[in-house]
A and B are shown apart, each in its own frame.
Chain A
Amino acid sequence: MTTPGGGGAATAAPPAQPAPLAGARHLLGELYARPTSAIGTTLVALFVAMALIGPWLAPYGPTEQILSDRSQAPGAAHWFGTDRLGRDVFSRVVTGARDIFLLAGGGTAVAVAIGTVAGLVTSTLGGWWEEITFRLFDTLLAMPALLLALLLLGTLGPSRSSVLWVIAVAYTPIVARVVRSVVLSVKTREWVAAARMQGETLPWILTREILPSVLPALAVEAALRFSYAIFLVASLGFLGVGVQPPNPDWGLMVAEARDYVYLTPWSLIFPAAAISLLVVSVNLAADGLGRALRTEGR
């Protein structure tokens, strides 16, 4: 199940082009039409806000060690308690949001960009280009994303930018396949054939005739990829090969707190809850997005 949510939206008919503002309003309306996607969207919005203003929200520095306040339970001074080095867990969780959005979001954006271009161009051209590109992608897909990530990080050495590139490499083939599945069903349609016969150039056909049909599926795929990317960043942090201490990476915080689960459970529970909540809400929102785009296409 490597292309969730893709196929359904792929049958999208000729590009509908409503006014952008009305489109956005319609989309929001659809997202809030169902309680699950409404909750998901709201939570994602809250997390985005946290990522944007987190550092101003945090009462303490994320790496600040308050030696007099070590291993404090949650309370008025420290809402989520402090870890054994005296760091405020609330400040770390809130500040860590930005990192996870930058890494998971950035990696997903790169994967979507490269995957879309590769999928669009090679599938439309067909022939050897398509064969070579997708056999190459199949090779990458044969490996579980986490294994691939560990392999690449072992080679690149752990750093923020490596994590971002690892996500891009792991998810580009998946995005490309989703794009390809839509392109294959669309490229023989009459309006594409008509454009060809009119003598339109390839870039024009790609961007004006084919890309709009791909967009709904692509949007849902991007959102889903993002949720897996969050999980991947957290997993890498947990395994100690991703973001390095003392950065407030959620996965890393869970790993660091593992042995302290009896002593300072709060230093484990809050970052773990943040990861779960973000992944679930992105999934719910993506689900709603898919539904909304399908109804729009109808």
Chain B
Amino acid sequence: MLVRTFFCTRLGVHIAASVLTLALVIGTASAQTLSVGIEIPSQLDPAFASADSEILILSNVYDYLVEIDASNDVQPGLATSWSVSEDGRTWTFELRDDVTYHSGAAFGPDDVVATFDRLREPDSGLPTADVYADVTSVEASGPAQVTFTLSEPNPFFLYDLSDNHAVIVDADATDLGTTFDGTGPFRVASYNAEDRMSLEANADHFGGAPGVEQVDLIFFAEQAAAVSALRGGQIDLVLRMPTPLYQSLEGARGIERISVPTNAFDLLRLRVDRAPGNDPRVVEALKLAVDRASIVEVVTDGLAAQGSDTPIGPLYGAYYRQDVTPPARDVERARELLAEAGYEDGLELVLNVPDSGDRPDLAVVLKEQLDEAGFDIEVRLQPESVYYGDGGWLEVDFGITGWGSRPVPQFYFETMIACDAVWNEAHYCDPEVDALIETAGSTLDDDERAEAYAELQRILANDGPYVIPYFFPQFAALADTFTGMELKAFPGRTDLATITVR
């Protein structure tokens, strides 16, 4: 009976919340208002924000120094132009001189200095301290100019500057988590934590007035609830949803489904610094046991792009090598290799899986394929926050991890694959690979970098302890009374100002 009470209460709360949300939504809807269903933001200080919903608010209320567009090209933001010195270590940015914050205060180079000094403070423990570890100084070098000095050349510096956290804040701002004085296309009109946030258009924005006068961000605890609200016409836009919800919207009246390919991927990896992963035959058997095409078909319903066990996907254009593929599936050979390695009776492994996205499905399909090839897999699902939260994911022998989309591939190599990478979950370490990563991350010669990446792809596809079966797309849905949205691979970076009433 206690059990039943628990569920009744929970259900009651959900129903009450839904009714409340519905009432509020109907109360304020108008043609010039775009209502967006997002997850509940919990941390809105730019230095700490990380979830899509949080970044969505920041990127629309504030501006970045430079922007990355949907095709991964760098575009002007608060900086209109930039130049880099011959040695690649001094970057100079010309800033807009006619920009004001929503409060009326003027924007200037001191704000840029203050923003990046805060984010790169080594003792702050901020995730960005690592990103900007190569920045030795940020200085206001003119009335509308800032200069960054680096300790070594960084070909991806512009992408680092457009890191999700790096929105430019007023140097005098206090209480960044609760007051939002940005320069962006929208200003915060009202904010009720855990309920909604109302944004109104900033007609003076340097990018031009936004397409709608008002944006209501309605907070939903579950994406399924947001999609139901979209179906019912109570909201106009949902920026992210799992595959089945996207599929369920097929043919839904008045709703346009939008998907963009991304470089986000699910990764299966085996820890190689101890048994059984330290035997190369086991790694080879693992790679031979997997049928990647079938996984794409079954797990993602054919909507994802097939991967080749490397983090460089088709989106990276020139860096991506289509001709590099992992060995084709060979169940017999995998069995032989496992037998040679001493596991003729089956290699027992616990597969650790965060319970989000398509990962549970991926685990079940992988178990079928691997068991067929002489493995004996036990699937263990864990809540995503628990799995990543306590560092357990870096300890386990065998696991699935979801990696988000990044505009440049270097991120994955430096944080996941290099010997000293912070998130080296496979505990992989290969000096040759490390040298290639170093080359790719420091050379200013793009051909040399492409060659390093090509070699990295060859090594990882054949011998890396990773299986990357697919790069999954990002799904959104917009009421067809609106148009003009450009969904980004990281949906939180989508610019709501481009959306207009149809």
Contact = CB atoms under 8 A, between A and B. Distances in A.
Interface stretch (B72-80, B205-213, B328-336, B379-387): B379-387
B246 to A, nearest CB: 10
A245 B3 contact: no
Contacts of A259: 224, 242, 244-245
A260 to B, nearest CB: 5
Contacts of A256: 360
A244 B298 contact: no
A263 B248 CA distance: 6
Contact of B364 (A2, A4, A231, A246): A246
Contacts of B4: 231
Contacts of A240: 355, 381, 383
B244 A263 contact: yes
Contacts of B6: 144, 146-147
A85 B3 contact: no
B223 to A, nearest CB: 9
B294 interface: yes
Given A84-B361, A146-B6, A245 B381 contact: yes
Given A258-B224, A263-B244, A246 B3 contact: no
B194 interface: no
Contact of B244 (A70, A145, A260): A260
Nearest to B383: A240
A146 B244 CA distance: 29
B298 A86 contact: yes
Interface residues of B, number: 30
Decide if the interface of chain A is mainly helix, strand, loop or mixed: loop
Contacts of A147: 6
B5 interface: yes
Interface string A1-17: 11010000000000000
B363 interface: yes
- Looking at A1, A158, A245, the one whose CB has the most chain B CB atoms below 10 A away is A245
B363 A145 contact: no
A65 interface: yes
B406 interface: no
A158 to B, nearest CB: 7
A245 B294 contact: no
A2 to B, nearest CB: 7
B297 interface: yes
Nearest to A147: B6
A235 interface: yes
A21 interface: no
22 contacts: A63-B368, A65-B298, A67-B298, A70-B298, A84-B244, A84-B301, A85-B364, A145-B3, A146-B6, A157-B380, A158-B381, A231-B3, A232-B3, A235-B7, A240-B381, A245-B381, A246-B379, A259-B244, A261-B248, A263-B244, A263-B247, A263-B248
Given A85-B298, A145-B3, 8 more contacts: A67-B297, A84-B301, A85-B364, A144-B2, A235-B7, A244-B379, A256-B360, A259-B244
- The 9 residue pairs across chains A and B that have the minimum distance between CB atoms: A262-B248, A144-B2, A259-B244, A246-B364, A260-B244, A146-B3, A240-B381, A245-B379, A145-B2
Interface of B: 1-7, 224, 242, 244-245, 247-248, 294, 297-298, 301, 355, 360-361, 363-365, 367-368, 378-381, 383
